[in-house]
Amino acid sequence: MAKVSVIGTGFVGASSAFAIALQGVCSDLLLVDANPERARAEAADISHGAAVANGVRVHSGDYQDIAGSQVVVIAAGVNQKPGESRLALLSRNASIFQDVLPRLCAVAADAVVVVATNPVDIMTDVTRALHPNPQRVLGTGTVLDTARFRDLLGRESGISPRYIHANVLGEHGDSSVLCWQYAQVAGLSFAQYLATIGKTWTAQDAARVEEKVRGAAATIIAGKQATYYGIGAAVAKIVEAVLKDSRAVMTVSGASDFGVSLALPNVVGRDGILHTITPSLSKEEKSKLERSAEILRTSQKGLLENGKLLV
């Protein structure tokens, strides 16, 4: 079976590793961290869960041990403090990636790389700039935001979020675009479905949901300093899509016609992003997506130009 490595085993990396181990889609799982004690302790803890779940072999190690991995998750870096935006993390995390990527690519340049570190869209571009096979790099994008959106629509409608089709596109951040145009239940628009169960849906209700989706991370960080279970589950789903070549449509972040990596509906399989789907958006959604791309282009200035790192 397959081998997966996780670089950076703090809250996000360790939760991702735990979710991957419970999912049982790989045979070997390697944890690497700048703090080897941390990686060792997380590997031991997760392997005790794996022993009563799927028997995945969990180890800790160094970069040379990553060789032979089909997928490498990068969650190394600093996270947001209360009140801090994701974009504020950029320069610190970009310099961590300048340390991580050459060491990773020296041993596993063919692995699909899943970037979770924030600001994830720009860190995806930083990774692409540092990688000899940039087409094998993708970011977690808005897979988590999309899950949050579907969860809230599920609660509003009394339907399992698994059966609600809805996407968040653009930046994983304040300018993300919630697509109401194709939020659907069994082919009905969300508002049409609610009408069938005697509920009304207003612009104020939609605005309330949008605020909750965009504010979810800040709310969780205020309560417990970091978010990690949701992103851990999202990372495990992406890893599964790659290892099983399942061609899942996921709002991962990848190269786009906007000149920056951002989240669009992408078909994910063995080689990472296989194909990007152009969504059918309303005029308003299109202009919000263009604005989100503009924010990402502006935030990259001084760091990246035409896909190349300037520093």
- Could you tell me the smallest distance in angstroms from the CB atom of residue 7 to ligand NAD? 5
Residue with tokens 């096979």: 133
Looking at the Cβ atoms of 118 and 175, the one nearer to ligand NAD is 118
Looking at the Cβ atoms of 88 and 281, the one nearer to ligand NAD is 88
Nearest C-alpha neighbor of 74 from the set 36, 126, 38, 142: 126
Inter-residue contact 68 to 94 (CB < 8 Å): no
Nearest C-alpha neighbor of 273 from the set 263, 281, 259: 263
The residues assigned a catalytic role are: 172
Give 18's DSSP letter.
Answer: H
Residue selected from 11, 149, 190, 193 as contacting ligand NAD according to rule CB under 6 A = 11
148 is in an annotated binding site: yes
Determine the Cα–Cα distance for residues 226 and 14; give it in Å rounded to an integer: 13
Determine the Cα–Cα distance for residues 70 and 4; give it in Å rounded to an integer: 6
Looking at residue 224, its amino acid is K
Residue selected from 108, 116, 194, 296 as contacting ligand NAD according to rule CB under 6 A = 116
Per-residue mark of binding to ligand NAD, 278-307 (x: CB under 6 A): ------------------------------
Site residue total, ligand NAD (CB under 6 A): 33
Handedness of CA 162, 117, 221, 227 (dihedral sign): positive
Looking at the Cβ atoms of 80 and 167, the one nearer to ligand NAD is 80
Run of H or E including 269: strand 266-269
Residue 120 interacting with ligand NAD (CB under 6 A): yes
Tokens standing for residue 305: 């130009």
Q: What is the chain's length?
A: 311
Residue 146 interacting with ligand NAD (CB under 6 A): no
Residue with tokens 């697509």: 179
- Could you tell me the smallest distance in angstroms from the CB atom of residue 290 to ligand NAD? 22
Run of H or E including 167: strand 164-169
- Could you tell me the smallest distance in angstroms from the CB atom of residue 32 to ligand NAD? 6
Residue selected from 10, 173, 269, 272 as contacting ligand NAD according to rule CB under 6 A = 10
Residue 46 interacting with ligand NAD (CB under 6 A): no
Residue 96 interacting with ligand NAD (CB under 6 A): yes
Contacts (CB under 6 A) with ligand NAD, residues 53-72:
none
Q: Enumerate binding residues for ligand NAD (CB under 6 A).
A: 7-13, 33-35, 38, 75-80, 89, 93, 96, 99-100, 116-118, 120, 140, 144, 172, 226-228, 231
